[in-house]
Amino acid sequence: MNAHTDTTLHHDETRITFNIEKSTLAKLSMSELFALHSAIQCTSGVVSGLMCQPWFDKDDKNTLNGAGEQLESLLNLLSNLQQTIFETAKDAQPQDPREAEKRAWTMLQYEADLCDVLPDFAARAATLSATQASVEFQALRQRRAAA
């Protein structure tokens, strides 16, 4: 996804564009990023389902018609947005245990759709869980030191 300077929808006589800057996503809390990713994932599923409907097929039933191609473009945009959300979460270093957990869930939600090997996914989940536990441990140490 190309990085732009805002998160607005632009349209003119010939084109509609949606711009989003990664730095805008980085300003969201991990809970907000998780919620956004969940919404984009759900929307992608709906768009994918719609593309399977016969009214988006050409007469030969093997290719998308013009409307189906537009949905495919929307699906590509949503996919790029999901990837950018994942990368934003991956780059984050939350210090709050709840935020660290939401970061892990955001990353696992994205990776689950791409993973074909369960042991690899389980290892990734274990790594993210250990990272979250470390953040929780550090927060506990700080609270005890402050007391």
| Secondary structure of residue 29 in the 3-state scheme | coil
Average pLDDT over residues 117-146: 93
* pLDDT at res. 81: 94
Q: What is the pLDDT of residues 34-80, one digit of tens each?
A: 999 999 999 999 999 999 999 999 887 779 999 999 999 999 999 99
Residue 38: count other Cβ atoms within 10 Å of its Cβ. 14
Note the pLDDT of residue 109. Answer: 95
Distance (Å, rounded) from C-alpha 34 to C-alpha 27? 13
Q: End-to-end CA distance of the chain: give it in Å, rounded.
A: 46
CA–CA dist 12, 2 (Å, integer): 19
What is the Cα–Cα distance from 26 to 100, expressed in whole angstroms? Answer: 14
pTM attached to this predicted model:
0.82
